[in-house]
Amino acid sequence: MDARNCLLYDPHASSGQILALINDAGWRVTRIDAAQPAYLHKTEDGRGVGLAVIGARALADGLPVQRLIAQSPCRPWVALLEPEVTLTQDLLHLLGTYFEDYQVLPVSPERLGFTLYRAGVRHAHLPGAGQARVLWPELILQGSSPPALRLQADVERAAESDSPVWIEGPPGSGKAMTARAIHRRSWRSLAPFVPFTCLAGAAADDIRAELFGVGETRAASGSAMRRGRIDSAQVGVLFLDGVDVLPLAVQQDLLQLLQKRVFRRRGGEDFIPVDVRIMVASGGDLDRAVADGDFLPALRNEFARLRIGVPGLSARAEDVESLARASLRQQFPGTAFAFAPATLALLPRHDWPGNLRELINRIARAVLVADGATLLPEHLGLGEASAAPPRRPGVMRLGAAKAQAERAVVVSALVEAGHNISQAARLLGVSRMTLYRLMDKHGIREDTRTLAE
């Protein structure tokens, strides 16, 4: 590469100073902006090092920088941080995974010139140079489409707040993943993240006992005092999935918790102070539930302080390939599995009615049923290749039919359990050793791990 060409992205008012600094270092500078992806692709032949200036708001203002780098994955990039930038966990992750190096202003021309030169030379000799890297650790945040960038910005904004969060999105879009991503970036990240799924038709007393625990008064009548999910989530996050189906009586308890920061166990008499952040996801239309009288308007207003929409895959088709690659790496790290070119071509064209959850599960099944390390379209059930082959005349022998059904049940349980052996064994009603024997019997690989949260 020509080690004296530099592409500069600087959205701030310091452009003149930065240009002078780079020129003094002996480099030729071409200024670019986030609206020039076509120019990036024209120069995507390895010539030049990218230099991105990151200002005080870092990731919040730096989303155009992220997209710019995502559109130019084969180019080495150096970050130039303004003095007031705070090195947060996410900024350090961005610097470590997407940039070859960084400097903090003010910096001498000699040091900047050496940093740019070293970045270009080192990048050219790295294994896998020219391949796109993952910017975000969470699967749900992968991608550079406008909906993905909005979601990334919403997660950053929610992490800086301590208000309740209301997460919306179609089924399987990754609402729980989004809640965990917010939690990891917040000051509560070292405290527990406690999920709870609200089931339609469940009795209010049973939900109260699960969430708030059972108090001393009930304990005196025979059952022991029991702590609830809120106790487990102290100082952390309680995530309620399907909050729109909660009984009105439980909604009143939650409203009291949010407004007064206290709760009372089922059957208990004392109010207990609590410090917990509430995040919720609604499977149905919460606004309609309010209009129908099935949800408290005051509670809805508490949740609506921060409202985040998680897009389905139909709205971010251009991200499907990067999501699939990231999912494969996270589910099966250190393995040789890879998508065939035909599979990559079909991924964005599929409807994905089950959204991200469907994509994750199809990849898991593909690895379990594939004969080799290459995942073909038929392994994921994509395109014309996924059509079932014509059945040969005759009846399948009983033994073969039983084996086929048994294998299908085991594979289904493993996928449902996120490849957690203990949980899959419980779903099947067998011991771990029995499940291992069944996996060995049917040639089901054991090189799996729990699905990405």
Sorted by where each begins, the domain ranges of the chain are 5-125, 146-309, 315-387+395-441
Longest dimension (CA), the chain: 83
pLDDT tens for the chain, residues 1 to 453: 445 788 888 776 555 778 888 888 888 888 876 545 444 444 444 457 888 888 766 555 556 666 666 666 667 888 888 888 877 776 777 777 678 888 888 888 888 888 888 787 766 655 444 444 445 678 898 887 889 888 988 998 899 899 999 999 999 999 999 999 999 988 898 899 999 998 888 899 999 999 998 876 544 455 577 889 999 999 999 999 999 899 999 999 999 999 999 998 888 778 889 999 999 998 778 888 999 999 999 999 999 999 999 999 999 999 999 899 988 988 888 788 899 999 999 999 999 999 999 999 999 889 888 888 899 999 999 865 443 344 344 455 566 666 766 777 787 777 777 677 887 888 888 888 888 888 878 777 654 433 333
Among 119, 120, 139, 127, which residue's Cα sits nearest to residue 47? 120
Among 355, 368, 344, 343, which residue's Cα sits nearest to residue 418? 368
Sign of the C-alpha dihedral computed for residues 272, 278, 281 and 282 taken in this order: positive
CATH fold of 315-387+395-441: Helicase, Ruva Protein; domain 3 (1.10.8)
- CATH label, 5-125, candidates 2.60.120.10, 3.40.50.300, 3.40.50.2300, 3.40.50.10600: 3.40.50.2300
398-416 vs 421-428: helix axis angle to the nearest 10?
A: 130
CB atoms within 10 A of CB 341: 9
Task: Report DSSP state, residue 244.
Answer: G
Task: Output the pTM of the full model.
Answer: 0.62
Q: How far apart are CA 278 and CA 239, in angstroms?
A: 6
- Whether 5-125 and 146-309 share one fold: the answer is yes
> Tokens representing 357?
């959850």
CB atoms within 10 A of CB 435: 21
CATH fold of 146-309: Rossmann fold (3.40.50)
Q: Alpha helices, DSSP H only, in 261-354?
A: 286-291, 297-303, 320-331, 341-346
Burial label, 84 (beta-carbon count in 10 A; 0-12, 13-18, 19+): exposed
Predicted local distance difference test score (pLDDT) of residue 181: 93
